Every structure is written in C-alpha cells, then in structure tokens.
Amino acid sequence: MLEAKRIEQTNQERWGLAQQWGWRFRAEAPELVDGWRVLPFTERGDQRIAFGVVDGLFNQVPFVAFDFHRRPKVTHVHDAWTNREINTVDDVTIDTVWVVKLPMALPFFQIASSIDPAFDVDPCPEPQTPDPKFNRWYKLVGTDPQVAAYFLHPGLMRFMRQAKVHTWAVVGDDLLVMEHPIFGRTKPDDVVETLGKIMQLVGLLPFPAPR
C-alpha cells in the first residue's frame, strides 16, 4: 500500500514537471526495464516496474528519466507456536535513473559508490587511480581497467566527488546516472538539478579529438 501511494505521488509530480518543461510523461514504460545491462537493472528482484517517466530535451540533449521499482526480498513471517505463515513483508527498492544521449558511442564503463546500500558491489574491484581516497569510495562494475583509466582523469574524479554523482555508466551512446533516494522520493527539482549535473559530466567525458 505504501509503495502504491509512493508511485502515485511520484507520477503526479512527474506529470506536473513534464507540463512545466514541455516534456512527455508516461506513468509506466515496460520497455525501459530491460533496456540496459547495468545497475540497477542487473540487481536481483521481481516486480520490476519503470514508472514516473519523463523524456524530452534538456539543453537540446535528448534524455529520459524514471524510477525503477524492484522487490529483491520477501520475508515470510510464521507463528512461533504453529509455524503457520501469518504475514509476508516485501523488501522493495526504488532507484531513479537518468539516461542522456551522447554525441557518439564510447567504450563500456560503469562505476558505483562502494557504500550505496541499494547495490551489491562488494566483490567488484576498486579503481586504480593515483588517488587512494577516491579508489576507496568507488567500485568498477564489469569495466576493463584500461577503459577506467581512460575515463577517470583528475577533473572528472573531482567533479564526481563535488557534485555527488557517484554511480553512472556509459553504454554505447547512452550515459546513465543512478541515484537511490534514501529519504522519500526524487522530487521534481531534484530531477532537473541532476540533469544539470549530467550535462557537466558529459562535458568531462573523454571523447576522441576530431581529426
């Protein structure tokens, strides 16, 4: 019930945001659930829903933003005396995802916060940059270390820490940024603020110099 209310509130807010900015709104978009093989879509869980979807142009760049709902765990509560099941408790996770179209495709890259409770990245290796403190805060997910060295130049690393853009990926010509809103929902102002940060991130990506 609480999750249904949260989804309804988010959809209402995103509809208003879309009206304000001239974007398209969709309450659900099933095709987005399996669109990319990166976090959070690679994490376990059923009841996978993409909702609160807005898409359009931001600074003339195509994007889509939405919330991704999954249920990674169900706890069955039993009576201590009879061992009969008396209740079930759903463990639900909702992450907000922004996808921005890049001017060209880049090598696959994915980095995640090492302390994000929404993602199981403990087995993943740390980056091997000259900054040990940065390395401790992050994990590389399915990423070639040489590609990571190509992406993680000092300016980009500094931006990640200052702007708090911690978990993101490049898949072809898509740049994905993921956030787990621990307190409440990702509000409309946060959607727009993060889009602004993503535009800065795009400017720091190591695109090949034109010949």
* pLDDT tens, position by position, 70-128: 876 544 444 456 656 555 445 778 999 999 999 999 999 999 999 887 788 999 999 99
pLDDT digits (tens, 9 = 90+) for 25-75: 999 999 999 889 999 998 876 688 999 999 999 999 999 999 998 876 544
The answer for residues whose C-beta is within 8 angstroms of residue 183's C-beta and 6 or more apart is: none
Reported pTM: 0.90
Spacing of C-alpha 86 from chain mean position: 35
CB 139 within 8 A of CB 123: no
Among 16, 83, 88, 90, CA closest to 47: 90
pLDDT number for residue 78: 46
